Amino acid sequence: MRLLIRKARILDPSQGLDLEGDLLIEEGRIVALDREIPPPSDCEIFEAQRLWALPGLIDLHVHLREPGEEWKEDLETGTTAAAAGGFTAVACMPNTRPPNDSPEVTRYLLSRAREVGRTRVWPVACISKGQEGRELAPFGELKEAGAVALSDDGRPVADSGLMRLALEYAASFDLPVISHAEDPGLSAGGQVNEGPVAARLGLKGIPAEAEAVAIFREVRLAALTGVPVHIAHVSTALSVEILRRAKEEGLPVTAETAPHYFTLTEEAVLEYNTQAKVNPPLRTEVDREAVRQALAEGVIDAVATDHAPHSPLEKEVEFPAAAFGLLGLETAVPLTLNLVREGLLSPLRFAELLSTAPARILKVPGGTLKPGSPADVTLIDPDLPWVVTEEELHSKSKNSPFLGWEMRGRAVLTLVEGEVRWRLR
């Protein structure tokens, strides 16, 4: 099969390219990229004027809920939502039931992903057995089965000695370590950001220090061991400052944030809005602005969604009983594009945050449109208006604080190895 994408704005940070041109795809690979490519015979042509062509988007941080919680999401619905959001690959967190701490679970995830055939799925396995923080999982066996990274995700490793050992052990298998940076003693029982909003709602707060203290530990462990560590879902100005200093020191630390942290503030939970209940919690305007600037300055390396589906059974309850988490796969593109429209990010930086940097952090294929590469490509209409409704979302769950929001920008075509996995009407 041959496909010629014509007259797109091609954005490829891996080559420093921002130009109007054509992409030729053949047998699942990009075979040519130029300002103008004569159409070969027997070639499908996709006219892409006014569209952006990017290396396929890669989400560092999603929850697909399979195995074990398929009433919320499964591999098919989750990766369908990913493709509709423009993602050609997703890294799925290990807090499934059972947790992904064994080669059998890793192999099951990869088998289901092949069966479903939507996007690439990169399994992230547990750091510790059962996410219990007591004994390391079998890293070598997990890597051999197909795991690409390690994290205990929502149950952070509290034992600093075990985390040091995990970093050193992971390095011997060249597996990235992703830290859910949270001091469980400081966050225990917390529901929202600690401050006036928590006081007004009568809810226990989670201080910014719960995240910052944990990030500081990871930074120093990276310094001690010389092993890279990746920080998940950064939400506070304090955290940004620690990361900034770590990078100035030259330490091997990378970080991600999620669109809700640079779009919303803690005021979204007023009226006890459980759809905006997330962990770490939405913070203050000062924190939101610090995260936005950190994305522009390179202190934060990537945008991930922390896509966390929950059914009405877990969300349409009293606030303290509601689950943490919101949907993110299908709203990440328009929310991040807002930063481009505001002049904070260039289009090339947008592509870096959502594609090239995640590929580099996870050490997986993708993040480039170089000829010879697999044809994982996302085409985005940056100005397409649409409204977020339950009917528009492809996830099994519908827990989004953005329902009813008017958005601008959307993926219109998602290709994995040259095959169409999403095409907007």
Binding residues for substrate, by number, are 63-65, 95, 279, 310, 324-325
306 catalytic per annotation: yes
CA–CA separation, 74 and 204 (whole Å): 32
Burial of 324 (0-12, 13-18, 19+ CB in 10 A): middle
Contacts of residue 305, Cβ cutoff 8 Å, sequence gap at least 6: 59, 61, 62, 85, 258, 259, 328, 329, 332
CA–CA separation, 8 and 30 (whole Å): 15
Q: Which of 59, 183, 287, 306 is catalytic?
A: 306
Chain center to CA of 149: 14
Pairing outcome for strands 406-416 and 149-150? unpaired
CA–CA separation, 207 and 94 (whole Å): 26
Instruction: Please count the CA atoms within 13 angstroms of the CA of 233 that sit on its side-chain side.
Output: 29
The residue ranges of DSSP E strands in 63-107, in sequence order, are 87-92
Contacts of residue 20, Cβ cutoff 8 Å, sequence gap at least 6: 7, 8, 9, 10, 35
Phi, psi angle pair for 44, to nearest 5° = -75, 140
Coil vs helix vs strand at 399: coil
Q: ω into residue 374 within 30 of 0, thus cis? A: no
Binding-site annotation, residues for Zn(2+): 61, 63, 153, 180, 233, 306
DSSP per-residue codes, 47-61:
E-TT-EEEEPEEEEE
Q: Quick one: which of 83, 101, 94, 158 has its CA closest to 329? A: 83
Q: Residues with catalytic annotation?
A: 306
